[in-house]
Amino acid sequence: MENKVRYQYCYFIYPYKITNNKSYIYSLLKNKKFKLNLLEKDKEIELHKCFSHYVRDYYFNTLQWSNEQKKAFNSMNEKLKANILAKQGSCYFSYSLENQIHGKIGENKIYFTIDEIVIACMASKNCFLILKTHIENIDTIREALDFNYKFRNLSQKLNEFDKIFIQSTQFDACDEIQTLITSITNKVELDLPYIHSYVCLDEQDINSASLEEVYEKYQNIEPAGGSTAFSAPKKEILNTNYLKLYSGRSGNFLLTSSVKNENYTKVPYIFETTYLYTYLIFLDQKYTSESILENNYKTNEKWEKIFIKNEITLNEEEDIFYKKLKEIWNIENLEKSVIEHKRIKYQQKEKKWNIILGIILLISILLNLYNLYINIIM
């Protein structure tokens, strides 16, 4: 399994719920460890080109802000900013990271760096804590397999041989990362995170027979020495000699080869921008739909239009990716359930108003009869 790696990164996505958008966003604005990331059109060209105007208007509204709007927003106090941001489809905060320490190596040890920690806050009260990581001085795909498996299972007790080590002055051990994740998500018991993983192999045909077992373990988030007896359900998104993308309920797994130059230049950028945001939008729709059915959660008209119309992206490849995600999670049936649920709620509301109007009409008739009776006897 000595397949050399040219480049690698992995995002770990922890979903969690909040109870009040305004107060939570306000707390992040006041916290010096977090910085608000306003999406700007000139810096996020791919997002603006990729997504439909429905999505841009709801999830990425700040892309359309003028310089005057940005200036007015920046001059506001935190409470006013929180009020505005709470009405956006999403907003993003970066966690302040100190300088990394580079160059550590060790036998049977994996040293990694956390490049970015971001909180995505959705108007639906769904939030996602996102950690971008990469392995320092990675040699073979074996290290990527072991790292993805071990980091995803941070909450489990690992023996000394299985430990992974962070290159940072901010965190002394992985236990401190777990503590940070727990404090942000406010969860004592952490759910396993979703994974958004990219690996580029050095000058190799990735459809060769020797890589079949490797790729199966990669998709199943198994360690290099693990078994491939179990295969989680997943969908093929793309498959060529030099690029394979599969998605499952645990995440998205892209394997490329440096035979094609764009596979380690353009492709990793697209995968961590338009594909990642498409994935976050999908997860928000999934969790929001479930909330609607469980506790009559109310959504706004813009969210419903995006969810029901399915007009997400303008790019064919991202559109295929989004539709495959829906198949994996059986969202088609969830959509039908949400639409039927809202239809029943609308009928109940209409019936309620008809009863109220009937009562008002009856009272009006009785008052008129009473006035008529008074006039007659007078």
Sequential pLDDT tens for the chain (378 residues): 468 999 999 999 999 999 999 999 999 999 999 999 988 776 787 888 899 888 998 999 888 888 899 999 999 999 999 999 999 999 999 999 876 655 555 556 788 889 999 999 999 899 999 999 999 889 999 999 999 998 998 876 555 446 677 776 677 778 888 889 999 998 766 678 999 999 999 877 787 777 888 888 999 999 888 776 566 677 889 888 899 999 999 999 999 999 999 999 999 999 999 999 999 999 998 898 887 777 666 666 677 777 766 778 888 999 999 999 988 888 766 565 555 555 555 555 666 766 777 777 777 777 777 676 676 776
**CA 81/CA 1 separation, integer angstroms:** 52
**CA 77/CA 114 separation, integer angstroms:** 31
pLDDT of residue 123: 92
Helix/strand/coil (H/E/C) assignment for every residue in the chain:
CCCEEEEEEEEEEEEEECCCHHHHHHHHHHCCCEEEECCCCCCCHHHHHHECHHHHHHCCHHHHCCHHHHHHHHCCCHHHHHHHHHCCCEEEEEECCCCCCCCCCCCCCEEEEEEEEEEEEECCCEEEEEEEEEECCCCEHHHHHHHHHHHHCCCCCCCHHHCEEECCCCCCCHHHHHHHHHHHHCCCCCCCCEEEEEEEECCCCCCCHHHHHHHHHHHHCCCCCCCCCCCCCEEEEEECCCEEEEEECCEEEEEEECCCHHHHCHHHHHHCCHHHHHHHHHHHHHHHHHHHHHHCCCCCHHHHHHHHHCCCECCHHHHHHHHHHHHHCCHHHHHHHHHHHHHHHHHHHHHHHHHHHHHHHHHHHHHHHHHHHHHHHC
Asked if residue 284 lies in contact with residue 122, where contact means CB atoms within 8 angstroms, the answer is: yes
pLDDT of residue 15: 95
